[in-house]
Amino acid sequence: MPEDELSRSSHSNPGKSLVNGIKTNPASNSPKSSLSVPMGPPVYVDLAYIPNHCSGKNTDPEFFKRIRASYYVVSGNDAANGEPSRAVLDALLEGKSQWGENLQVTLIPTHDTEVTREWYQQTHEKQQELNIMVLASSSTVVMQDESFPACKIEF
């Protein structure tokens, strides 16, 4: 295609661009609404690290509906940046409630924070109903014949 045709074709749709071959509107390219991913079967894993230090920027109930883990690691120790996020912890409850099966889930916080303590106390009944166990900061994890405090797990 000649350069002048390429130039005209790129300006014929102002405000639109291609992302992975799909026309999008840059004004609506927020992290949660940029492109919808087709639904597929959920993925079952042993251990999942909640993205972004458990920040609400990229993790919502959909994450917990699709990524079904026996253990979720909750890092984050920066209250000023909303880490860990109460909304993400609530999203776990919402997502898990839609699994349709009552598999045991263990939440492993890497830090003892006020947010996780308050969430634990305020939603304890719902956690029990959904078969979610939260390791306390004094809990010990044993892996490959080594034991260490759960709140000290680092990846």
The amino acid present at 127, given as its one-letter code, is Q
pLDDT at 139: 62
Read off φ and ψ for residue 17, nearest 5 degrees.
Answer: -145, 170
Higher pLDDT, 3 or 81: 81
For residue 83, tell me if it sits in a domain: yes
Handedness of CA 147, 103, 132, 61 (dihedral sign): positive
For residue 154, tell me if it sits in a domain: no
pLDDT(4) > 60: no
> What whole-number percentage of the chain has pLDDT above 70?
62
Dump pLDDT digits (tens) for 53-106.
666 677 888 999 999 999 998 887 777 766 688 899 999 999 999 998 889 999
For residues 102 and 144, what is the distance between their CA atoms, to the nearest angstrom? 28
Nearest to 54 by CA among 41, 72, 69, 36: 72
Number of folded domains that form the chain: 1
The amino acid present at 102, given as its one-letter code, is N
For residue 26, tell me if it sits in a domain: no
For residue 25, tell me if it sits in a domain: no
For residues 108 and 137, what is the distance between their CA atoms, to the nearest angstrom? 9
Domain hosting residue 56, numbered range: 43-149
pLDDT(126) > 80: yes
pLDDT(10) > 60: no
- Provide the whole-model pTM: 0.64
